[in-house]
Amino acid sequence: STLVIAIFITVFVTFFTLEQNGLIQHNKQKDDYPVAEYKAIFIEKLDQGEYRLSHKPSNQTAVCHQGYLFIQSDKNDGMQGLLVDYKNRGVRCGELVSK
């Protein structure tokens, strides 16, 4: 039992020391975190216009809002995120406006 208590005390002292020295970083901007990760894949078109992909739903829906594509959760209305590329540029949807 002394060994178990020593382990807990060691973990607590280590955590407290790292926190006091600022070595544990906390995200201060709660709005700036990924909701989900996505990747684009090439899907071969089969005969009769069908595509080969999973038939299970992702429980997420894409929504076009003010010309940008947002992904929102079907289960939690408060979870919505802007779809961006690898340089954090918003993915456009709908009609493109000429510059």
Please indicate, yes or no, if residue 28 is contained in any of the structural domains: yes
In sequence order, what are the residues at sequence separation of 6 or more whose Cβ sits closer than 8 angstroms to the Cβ of residue 95?
67
Q: Under a CB-based contact definition with an 8 Å cutoff, are residues 81 and 35 in contact?
A: yes
Which of 95, 3, 87, 75 shows the shortest CA–CA distance to 35? Answer: 75
Measured in degrees and rounded to the nearest 5, phi and psi for residue 82 equal -80, 130
Cα 41 → chain centroid: 18
Please indicate, yes or no, if residue 87 is contained in any of the structural domains: no
Please indicate, yes or no, if residue 89 is contained in any of the structural domains: no
pLDDT of residue 16: 94
Please indicate, yes or no, if residue 24 is contained in any of the structural domains: yes
Give the number of domains in the chain.
1
Please indicate, yes or no, if residue 67 is contained in any of the structural domains: yes
Domain that holds residue 74: 2-82
The pLDDT tens digits of the residues spanning 17-52 come to 999 998 888 777 666 666 666 666 666 666 666 666
Please indicate, yes or no, if residue 93 is contained in any of the structural domains: no
Please indicate, yes or no, if residue 68 is contained in any of the structural domains: yes
Strand order in the sheet with 60-65: 60-65, 68-73, 80-82
Please indicate, yes or no, if residue 94 is contained in any of the structural domains: no
The pLDDT tens digits of the residues spanning 48-85 come to 666 666 778 888 888 888 899 988 888 887 788 888 88
